[in-house]
């Protein structure tokens, strides 16, 4: 019993260390900016959601909070770090908790309907937010820290987001109808975590950022940007989790 518990603790600590490092590194190394709409996102949410759905709430809460807060500090956004520590920890923790437990629906068709509804919601939101805030000239910055001038600049037509939204709907619906009817619960879990993140940053920016650090921010303008980051994180994490679980069955809890 002692050896088994010790081994389990060692694995847990290793997962926490790796996940925290990945959240920090990915948040810092990859960022996209759209000058025309001031849309900005990184893919830190992808790692948080993936860790939550694979390894549970303890790993994802620590990795999300600490990894993201360190990224803020190292990138020079130290005034966001206290809020990020709490908000991203809650985000990762709730996704991990929800991902581990799911309600009991009366029939398989109920699960399939729920999964299709989640796919429809995410796909439509992605198409709307992406076409409005992430279309046009896009600047990609890669590096630690990201360089002041973009590594790559390219155009993203509005239609790309419509295609991506449709692809997300098809992917989630097919997964639910053919492979895993309960797949929609994973999508729902990431949405709940994303709502916590969006709400947390809105409250912090609206009520605390100016009085604490004298930094003015139009908090309501940041809401769709944060929703976009949430959606992109979910869209990347969900198929990644599905592929990893099929490729490495030992990851299933």
Report CA-CA distances (Å) from 63 to 18, 28, 186, 228.
8, 14, 19, 21
Nearest to 127 by CA among 184, 166, 171: 166
Alpha-carbon dihedral of residues 125, 81, 142, 217, nearest 10 degrees?
60
- Give the domain extent around 226: 2-251
pTM of the predicted protein model: 0.91
Q: Domain total for the chain?
A: 1
Q: Summarize pLDDT for 105-145 with one digit per residue, the tens.
A: 778 899 999 999 999 999 999 999 999 988 888 888 777 76
Q: What count of residues does the chain have?
A: 253
The CATH number that applies at residue 23 is 1.10.1760.20
Q: Summarize pLDDT for 177-228 with one digit per residue, the tens.
A: 998 999 999 999 999 999 999 999 999 999 998 898 888 888 888 888 899 9
């Amino acid at each position: 019993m002692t050896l088994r518990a010790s081994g389990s603790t060692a694995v847990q600590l290793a997962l926490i260390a790796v996940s925290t490092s990945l959240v920090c590194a990915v948040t810092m190394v990859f960022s996209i900016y759209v000058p025309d709409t001031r849309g900005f996102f990184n893919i830190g949410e992808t790692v948080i959601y993936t860790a939550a759905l694979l390894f549970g709430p303890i790993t994802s809460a620590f990795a999300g909070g600490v990894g993201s807060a360190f990224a803020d500090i190292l990138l020079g956004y130290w005034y966001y770090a206290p809020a990020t520590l709490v908000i991203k920890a809650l985000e990762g923790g709730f996704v991990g908790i929800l991902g581990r437990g799911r309600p009991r629906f009366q029939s398989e068709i109920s699960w399939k309907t729920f999964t299709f509804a989640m796919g429809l919601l995410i796909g439509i939101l992605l198409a709307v937010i992406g076409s409005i805030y992430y279309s046009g000239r896009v600047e990609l910055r890669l590096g630690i820290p990201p360089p002041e001038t973009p590594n790559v600049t390219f155009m993203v037509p509005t239609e790309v987001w419509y295609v991506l939204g449709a692809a997300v709907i098809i992917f989630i619906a097919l997964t639910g109808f053919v492979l895993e009817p309960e797949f929609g619960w994973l999508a729902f879990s990431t949405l709940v975590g994303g709502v916590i993140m969006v709400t947390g940053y809105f409250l912090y920016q609206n009520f605390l950022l100016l009085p604490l650090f004298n930094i003015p921010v139009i908090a309501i303008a940041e809401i769709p940007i944060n929703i976009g980051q949430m959606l992109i994180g979910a869209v990347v994490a969900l198929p990644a989790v599905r592929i990893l679980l099929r490729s490495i069955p030992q990851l299933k809890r």
